[in-house]
A and B are shown apart, each in its own frame.
Chain A
Amino acid sequence: MNKNIKLEVRNITKVFGKHPQKGISLLNEGLSKSEIFEKTKQTIGLDNVNFEVYDGEIFVIMGLSGSGKSTLLRCLNRLIEPTKGEILIDGQNITDMNPEELRNTRRNKLGMVFQNFALLPHRSVLDNVAYGLEIQGIPKEERYLKALEAIETVGLKGQENSRITQLSGGMKQRVGLARALANDPDILLMDEAFSALDPLIRSDMQDELLSLEDRVQKTIIFVSHDLDEALKIGDRIALMKDGEIVQIGTPEEILTEPADSYVSRFVAGVDRSKILTAESVMKRPDPIISINSGPRVAIQLMKDHGISSIYVVEGKNRRLKGIVMIGDVLEALKKGKSLESVMIPDTPRVAPDMPLKEVIPLIADSQYPLAVVNDSGKLLGIIVRASVLGALAISGEIEQDEVPEEKASEESASGDKIPEEKPPEEKTPEEKTPEEKPPEKTVSIGKNEGEDGQPPEGSGGSGNIINNGIDSGPVPAEAGANNGAPAKAPDRSDTMPGSEVKTC
C-alpha cells in the first residue's frame, strides 16, 4: 500500500447543544464531559480527534455504542458540522468550503453507505443507484450506463428494475453500495453498513467488500461496533471511547500492543487465531546457514544456539533451500559429504500473511519449525510452536471447540504439504491450549516438543546439543516477548469477559 495521505483530520471537536463555544472553552479548562454536561447541558460528541487515512486503505472506526463513531464519520462529509478543527481531503480543507464547493466535493469525492440502507422507496434499483448522477445533471443514458456498471460490480445484475421492497436485506445493502460506487468517489464512508444484516450475509458482504476493495481501490472509512468485523476488514483501526480516539493501529497492533487497559479489555474476547498472521508470530531466522558452508560450520552454529536443526539458505537474499538435522550433519561430516547432500529440501513453508488459524494445524503436524517465505522464496522468519501458543495465550483461552473443528477441514490440505506421516500426538497442542495459565501452557508444549519433535535418527549422541526439534531454552521468554505482558493476561480475562465487549 502506498502511504499517500488521502484524508486528514485535525483537532476535530464536536459539541452538541445551543452554546457549543461554551463547551469548547470548558473543555480547554480541562473539565470532564459529564461536568460540562451538568453545567451547560452541552454534549461533547467528539473531543479533539486527530488521525489520517491513507490512500486505498480500509480504515475502521470502532467503539462501543455512543462513543461518537457516527458523529465522527458524519463530520467527514459535514452532515454534522464540526464545532472546531479541520478536515483535509487531498489537502483541501473542507471545513471552510462554501455550500457549493462542499456540494461538489460530496458529489465527486465522497460516497456514503448507510446502516439501514436508506434507499429511496419510490425508486427502482436502477434509479436509486443513479441518484447521485441524476442530481449532477448527467443525461439519462449516460447515468444509466454507469449505474448498470455499479449494479454489476456489486453482483446485482438483472435486478435493476426491481422495486426496493422486493429485495432482501443483503440485496438492499448491495444497492446502497452500488449507489455510492456509481459516482466513482475516492472515499467511501460506511456507517455500520453491515450491522443490520444477519451474520452469514454479513460475513459474505465483508468478503465482498474486501474483494471489491482489491478491484476498485477506494479509500474506505468504515464504522463498526463489532470488533471481529473491524479486525477482519480493517487495514488500520481507530478505537474510540467517549468521543476520543484511544488507539490507532493495525489489527495486530491493537491485539498485541494495546495502548491501555481499555483497549486490552476491549480486545480480550477475540479469537486471535483468526487475526494474527504467520508474520506476527514468526521469529527472526537466526541462525541460518548458507548452502555453500560445510557441515562443520553447521554443527558449530547448532551447538552455539542449542538447537538440533538449522535452515539452509542461498545467496544474499536468503532464498530458502531446506533444512538440515544435527544427526544427518554429523553423519555427513564423518563421511565427508556436503551439507546439501543431507539437506531436507521440502520443508513446510507458509506465506507471511497466512492466518494463524491455518498455521496451527501445519505446525502441529510438522517436525520442524515452519519457514515463513515470501513470494520470491526469501526466508523471512521461522515459527516454532511455542511462539504460536504464546501469542494465542495472551488473552487467556482459545475457544475449545473451534480449533479442532478447523483442523478437521484443514487436514487434507496440510497433508499434502507435509511428507512425513502424522505423529499420533498431533492433537496435543490443541488439547493443551484450554488450560488456565499461559506459562504452564508453554512449558508443557516445550516438553512435548522434546518428545515428538525429535529427529528420527539418533541425534542424541552429541552431548552439547540440546535435544529437541526447536530451541526449548528461550521458550518462556519468547512467549513473554510476543505477548507484551503475560502477567496481565489472567486479570484481564477476569475483569472483563469477552462477551461483554461485543454488546452494542
Chain B
Amino acid sequence: MLIPRLPIGDTVEFAVDWVEGNFGIFLDFISDQLDFLITGLKDVLLFLPPELFILVISLLAYFAGKRNIKLAVGTAFGFFLIQNMGLWVLSIETLALVLSSALLTLVIGIPVGILCAKNEMLYHIVKPLLDLMQTMPSFVYLIPALIFFGLGNVPGMIATVVFAMPPAIRLTNLGIRQVPKELKEVADAFGSTGWQKLAKVELPVALPTIMAGVNQCIMLSLSMVVIAAMIGARGLGYQVLFGIQRVDISMGFEAGLAIVIIAVVLDRITQNLSPR
C-alpha cells in the first residue's frame, strides 16, 4: 500500500486526553451536579412509601387524563404489579433517571428550539446536527459519554440527553413557526414586547406541538436509559442486561414488563397533558 494508514484512532485518543487534561475539573463539576440531581430525585421518590406513590401517580393520571378513571385504575394496577414483582427500587431508579434526563433535555431543547424558530441562521446550523443525532445508532453516544464521564448514571444521562434532544428542539421550533402569521401580527399590532409576544402568544399557541415534543422526549429517554445500562446506568435496564448475560428468562422478562408499564403510563400522562 502506498498510502500509509491514517492515524485517526490515535488522533482522537490524543484529543480526548487533551480535553481530559484541560477540562477534567469542569467535567467533574458537571458530573457531580448531574449525579446530585439524579440521586436527589431518586431519594425523594423512594422516600414515599410505594402505596402513597401509587396513589399520587394514579391521581396524576386521573387529572391529566381529564378525569379518566380507566387510566387511573390502569396506572395503579401497573405499579402494584411492579411492586409485586419486587422491582420497586429498580423502577424508581429508572424513573428518576428518565425524569432527570428528560428535564435536562427540555431545559436545553426548548430554548434552542425557540431560538431556531426566531433565527434562520441558527436553524441552518442546528438542523444538520439534529439529522446526524437522529440517524446515529444510539449505542454510539455511549462511547464519548463513557470516555468523558466514566461508568455510572451520569454518562448514561448524558447519552440519553443527546439522544432525546432532537424531537424537543424540532417540535418546539415547528410549533413556534406554525403560529399563524395573523396571531403574531396581533401581538405586534397591539404593542407587545418581544418577551410578551413569546410568552402570551407564541408559546401558548405552540403548546400542543411542544407537548408532543415533550412526550417524544420522555419516551426516547426511557428507551435510552435502558440501553445506558451498558455503561453502568442503574435501574431496570441493568436488570435486563443481567438477564441477558445469565440467560435468565424470568428475570429479563419481569424487568422488561416493568419497563413497558412505566413507558405506557408516562406516555399516557404526557400525551394528555397537552391542552386541547
Contacts and interface: CB of A to CB of B under 8 A. Distances in A.
Interface of A: 74, 77, 79, 102-107, 110-112, 114-116, 118, 120-122, 131-132, 134-136, 179, 183, 189
A132 B191 contact: yes
A118 B183 CA distance: 5
A122 B200 CA distance: 10
Given A118-B182, A118-B183, A118-B185, A112 B190 contact: yes
A131 B205 CA distance: 14
A112 B189 contact: yes
Contact of A135 (B193, B205, B207, B275): B193
Interface string B236-263: 0000000000000000000000000000
A193 B187 CA distance: 17
Contact of B190 (A115, A116, A122, A135): A135
A122 B186 contact: no
A106 B189 contact: yes
B189 A122 contact: no
B192 to A, nearest CB: 5
A102 B183 CA distance: 19
B68 interface: no
9 contacts: A103-B191, A107-B191, A112-B185, A112-B186, A114-B186, A118-B182, A120-B200, A121-B205, A135-B196
Given A106-B189, A131-B190, A120 B204 contact: yes
A79 B191 contact: no
Contacts of B188: 79, 106
B179 to A, nearest CB: 10
Contacts of A179: 190
A140 to B, nearest CB: 14
Contacts of B174: none
B190 A106 contact: yes
A134 B182 CA distance: 19
A131 B189 contact: no
Contacts of B275: 122
B185 A79 contact: yes
Contacts of B192: 103, 135
A120 B182 CA distance: 10
Sorted nearest first, the 3 A-B pairs with minimum C-beta distance are A107-B191, A106-B191, A118-B182
A116 B180 CA distance: 10
B126 interface: no
Interface in B174-222: 180, 182-183, 185-186, 188-193, 196, 200-201, 204-205, 207
Given A103-B191, A122-B207, A122-B275, A135 B200 contact: yes
B41 to A, nearest CB: 30
A176 to B, nearest CB: 9
Given A106-B189, A122-B275, A134 B183 contact: no
Given A112-B190, A183-B190, A131 B183 contact: no
Nearest to A127: B200
Which of B191, B193, B196, B204 has the most chain A CB within a 10 Å cutoff? B191
Contacts of B190: 106-107, 111-112, 131-132, 135, 179, 183
A114 B184 CA distance: 12
Given A111-B190, A121-B205, 18 more contacts: A74-B185, A79-B185, A79-B189, A102-B191, A103-B193, A106-B188, A106-B189, A112-B186, A116-B180, A118-B182, A120-B204, A122-B204, A122-B205, A131-B190, A131-B200, A132-B191, A134-B200, A135-B191
Contacts of B196: 135
A370 B182 CA distance: 51
Contacts of A118: 180, 182-183, 185-186
A116 B191 contact: no
Nearest to B180: A118
A304 B185 CA distance: 67
Contacts of B183: 118, 120
Contacts of B180: 116, 118
Which of A104, A122, A183 has the most chain B CB within a 10 Å cutoff? A122
A135 B192 CA distance: 6
Nearest to B204: A122
Contacts of A131: 186, 190, 200
A74 B184 CA distance: 13
Contacts of A116: 180, 182
A114 B186 CA distance: 8
Contacts of A135: 190-193, 196, 200
Contact of B189 (A110, A115, A136): A110
A120 B207 CA distance: 13
A115 B207 CA distance: 24
A114 B185 CA distance: 9
Contacts of A134: 200
A279 to B, nearest CB: 38
A176 B205 CA distance: 17
A102 B191 CA distance: 8
A277 B185 CA distance: 39
A122 B175 CA distance: 15
Contacts of A104: 191
A116 B185 CA distance: 12
A415 to B, nearest CB: 51
Nearest to A112: B189
Contacts of B191: 102-107, 132, 135-136
